[in-house]
Amino acid sequence: MKLITRDTDYALRALCFIAKNKDKVTPAPELVAKLKIPRPFLRKILQSLDKNGLLKSYKGKGGGFVMTLKPNKISILDVMRIFQGAFNLNECLLNKHLCPDIRVCILKKKIDRIEKYVVSELGSFKLAYLIE
């Protein structure tokens, strides 16, 4: 089980790099060179970050990406949610046929508590901590 997937990891690294560049526009090719992320894959990731409002993009020559928020306003969880969907360790609710069983519900409460802990820990871990 992975907690953080590859695209989230790439996204974090890209965000860190772009954040260090401050107001300077960072073009994707620079990220590819420095971070060794496969180019088309990175492009897709950057587009996602743009659509989700974490980056602002500039098209055309001299274009690229800049941060829209301060790094201390972005949490690991914010990035995870973009690439891995809403945090939901308890998928049991979906499979209706599993639910008549009480035992799963006791377990469900346990898992809910675990989930709350994880969400709170990752939600308070800001991108800024990864830069300094």
Residue at 109: amino acid letter: K
93 binds, among its own copies, ligand FES, DNA, none (CB under 5 to 8 A by kind): ligand FES
Residues 6+ apart with CB under 8 A from 11: 45, 48, 49, 79, 82, 83
Residues 59-88 contacting DNA, CB under 7 A: 59-65, 84
Q: Which is nearer to ligand FES, 35 or 93 (CB)?
A: 93
DSSP single-letter state for residue 35: H
Quickly tell me which residue has 């308890």 as its tokens: 90
Q: With H, G, I as helix, E, B as strand and everything else as coil, classify residue 74.
A: coil
59 binds, among ligand FES, its own copies, DNA, none (CB under 5 to 8 A by kind): DNA
21 binds, among its own copies, DNA, ligand FES, none (CB under 5 to 8 A by kind): none
Residues 17-46 contacting DNA, CB under 7 A: 27-29, 38-41, 43-44, 46
Residues 6+ apart with CB under 8 A from 119: 77, 87
**Where do contacts with DNA occur on this chain (CB under 7 A)?**
2, 5-7, 10, 27-29, 38-41, 43-44, 46-47, 50-51, 57-65, 84
